[in-house]
Amino acid sequence: MTEAQSLSTKRAEVEWHNFASFGQPERALAVYAEENQRRGMVIRHQQEFIGPLSPFLEIGSAAGHTSYMMENEFGASGFALDLSADALRHGVHLMDTWKLSAAPIRIAGDAANLPFRDNSLRFVMAFQMLSQFMGMERVFEEVKRVLMPGGIFFFAEEPLKRMMTLRLYRCPYVEQMKPWERKLHEWGLLGYLVRDVIGAHQEESYGIRQNHTMGLKEWHAMVGRHFADQRYQIFVPERGWGETIVKRLAIRLDPYGSEWRAAKLLGGTLAAACRKAGESPVVPFDKSRFETLLRCPDCHRDLSRTPEESLVCAACGYLCPNEGGVYNLLPSKEKKELYPGNAEDLIDFSLPGHEAKLLEGWHELEGVFGNKYRWIGARATAKLRSLRRTPQRLRIRGLAHESSFSKGQAPRVEVRLNGAPLQTWTIERTGLFLLEADVPEAPEYHIEILASPTWSAPPDKRTFSVNVSMIRLVPRD
């Protein structure tokens, strides 16, 4: 069976959500509110088929905004799970801003290795996250395992493979599009050129793999292998005249007047409510004893809760403290790799003490909600110490501001390692970027970052190029 997700993809997702989930608070809140409105409408459309909603689990929840909607608008009770504990901790800002009274139990965990007991949940939901798994079958197996007999798996906003496209290249989200791309997008023509879902390029370039191989036939086959009954909703794009004409013609030519043929040609997204075989009585969920639904991620035995609110496994000694309202229930080996703390081979600007590894050329710490970064001018230096004897890569995460492109040339970033050139990158678009290169074996690394062009923002007298939020050494997967 195909591996569900590589460790490098998981690492990229943890970093992405830490930086992106509340990197721009006003924009994030607007996006979350719009998503909740759309998702709430789709759930209500299938409510009769879905039935009771508690206890629920949302997998791939990011900051958990949809789980907060379930708790406060639908009166349901349950769990928000994401690989990123940092993203889940941002939920407190959702509660403060939206004046919410109820919160889900927040758990950092892996959708392909859910820390829940068999037959423990009534409703599992996933939004726009299954396509991040190369081995999607594993997620379906885990969801089916934790669902009670008769329980519902509801997934939505999953992409449908599009046939009518030349598949020429990958295109980023609208805000990073070039002017000619944005115009074609407005006319409904860009989709006929790009290789897969618009925006896939941006996440792929960050290290998050995308699975866009699933058409309606493949999704239906996957659902049929695991669930006894299902209900579908299809959403086909109608962007500009270029897609409107084809969509309407496809519906007219379909023998049933449905959107299935249009979805095959133009892609779009799928929502599905899938029922597990069997039936279970409706039992109220006692949130005060939520640990009774969980299992140890290492040995799969029962977890108990201590007076200090930690979760512990009596069988293998696994211990999980409550960290800022979040329980990190990843397997021990993965947790150590994905959450190394302030290690000698990592400079995470959101962690205290990181400045001890910085040398010259860094401006002061900026950013909000844990998404910390530092601007540099033309040059900055730092140091890392190797903790592995296996081959490694240097990984630099940052952001290119639109002002970096104001002089008519794309930003260039050169990295020198221990005095020798490592690699030079040209950044073609604004927004988040990720730079990676293999490094030679050495006990320590003196890292020099050279960036151009530089720019200023009067009356600020500082000189800027790009900003950086993380530098680390990672294994070569």
Q: What is the pLDDT of residues 285-311, one digit of tens each?
A: 999 999 999 999 999 999 999 999 999
Is 27 found in the same domain as 151?
Answer: yes
Residue 96: pLDDT band (50, 70, 90) is very high
Q: Is residue 317 part of a domain?
A: no
pLDDT for the residue numbered 145:
98
Mean pLDDT in residue range 256-284: 94
**193 has a pLDDT exceeding 70:** yes
Measure the CA–CA gap between 84 and 15, rounded to whole angstroms. Answer: 8
Instruction: Answer yes or no: is 82 within a domain.
Output: yes
Together in a domain, 361 and 249: no
Domains identified in the chain, total number: 2
What share of the chain in percent tops pLDDT 90?
Answer: 78
Residue 128 lies in a domain: yes
C-alpha pair distances (Å), 421 with each of 217, 360, 439, 454, 467: 50, 18, 11, 21, 21
Look at residue 296 and tell me if it is in a domain: no
Is residue 244 very low, low, confident or very high in pLDDT (cuts 50, 70, 90)?
A: very high
Domain extent, residue 204, equals: 7-275
CATH code, domain with 407: 2.60.120.260
pLDDT at position 47, please?
A: 95
Question: Which of 75-84, 171-180, 274-283, 419-428 comes out lowest in average pLDDT?
Answer: 171-180
Q: For position 43, what pLDDT does the model report?
A: 97
Residues 102 and 187 in one domain: yes
Q: Are residues 350 and 254 in the same domain?
A: no
- pLDDT at position 178, please? 86
Residues 101, 238: one domain?
Answer: yes
Q: What is the pLDDT of residue 16?
A: 78
Asked which of 275, 304, 330 is the last residue of a domain, the reply is: 275
Q: Are residues 233 and 350 in the same domain?
A: no
Do 66 and 181 belong to one domain? yes
Averaged pLDDT for residues 166-170: 90
Over residues 327-358, the pLDDT tens digits come to 999 999 999 989 988 899 999 998 889 999 99
Res 69 pLDDT > 80: yes
pLDDT at 125 over 90: yes
Across residues 78-100, what is the average pLDDT? Answer: 93
Assess if residue 290 is contained within a domain: no
- pLDDT at residue number 195: 87
Assess whether 210 and 359 both reside in one domain. no
User: Would residue 52 count as lying in a domain?
Assistant: yes
So what's the pLDDT on residue 39? 97
pLDDT, residue 19, reads: 67
The answer on 159 and 67 residing in a single domain is yes
Tell me: the pLDDT tens digits for 365-389? 998 877 789 999 999 999 999 999 8
Residues 94 and 176 occupy one common structural domain? yes
374: which 2 tokens? 């530092």
The burial of 440, by beta-carbon neighbours within 10 Å (0-12 exposed, 13-18 middle, 19 or more buried), is given as exposed
pLDDT at 30: 92
Give residues with Cβ within 8 angstroms of 293, minimum separation 6.
Answer: 55, 116, 117, 120, 121
pLDDT at 3 over 90: no
**pLDDT for position 409:** 87
The tens digit of pLDDT for each residue in 151-161 reads 999 999 999 99
| Domain final residue pick, 249, 275, 301 | 275
Q: Are residues 350 and 269 in the same domain?
A: no
- pLDDT at residue 1 tops 70: no
Phi then psi for 398, rounded to 5 degrees? -160, -165
Backbone phi, psi, residue 312, to 5°: -140, 145
In a domain, 332, yes or no: no
Question: Would you say residue 205 has pLDDT above 80?
Answer: no
308 inside domain: no
| Average pLDDT, integer, range 57-63 | 95
Q: Are residues 65 and 157 in the same domain?
A: yes
pLDDT at 228 over 80: yes
The mean per-residue pLDDT over the stretch 210-237 comes to 95
CA distance 56 to 158: 20
Q: Which of 227, 247, 275 is the last residue of a domain?
A: 275
